[in-house]
Amino acid sequence: MALISAATIITSLSLFHITLAFFFLTNPNTIADQTLVFIIGEAMGLPFTRSFDTQSPSLSFLAALLFVVGITDLVSCSLPEEISQYHWGSQAPVRLLLFGALGVYSYTFSDSSPIYAQKAYQASSWGEGLKNRVVFTWAFVEMITWFWVFVTLREERRDIALRIAQRRAAEEDRL
């Protein structure tokens, strides 16, 4: 049995999304100035971006999106255990893969990337806003968290199956 349940991890992540939404809406510079963002950004050599210094319509949209994702994930955590296990068992690997791809993209195609610097051609400006330390740090933290959720769900699956079998056996004994 896991030390921290998958429901607790997902609830914490949902509250983290709601908190991020608040800061993106009120003061986005607070996120860009976080120590974790600085340390990971410097360690990976990712560029600092000034786009988080002031509020913008795109950051407000991101805040609304993160708020909706946080609320819907909280609601999904309150489902019955069997349904929740099925739902998150399919969501965790997909989110792990998507955030892993976003993190790889953010690092690989940034201006300071050794892979990008070796290319002889000029890349298009598509996705330029995704190639900074804030996006990389967010994708990295999400990827690690979803991997933790995935592993925890795999550990909990056996215990849930045992409880369901015991419940069915108790129901058959009553009949």
**pTM of this structure:** 0.84
Please indicate whether residue 66 or residue 45 has the higher confidence score (pLDDT).
Answer: 66
Going 140 to 142 to 148 to 151, the CA torsion angle's sign is: negative
**Cα dihedral value 153, 159, 160, 163, nearest 10:** -170
Residue pLDDT, tens place only, 75-104: 999 998 888 888 999 999 999 999 999 999
For the cut 60, the answer to whether the pLDDT of residue 124 exceeds it is no
Query: Is pLDDT at 160 greater than 90 in this prediction?
Result: no
Supply the pLDDT for residue 120.
47
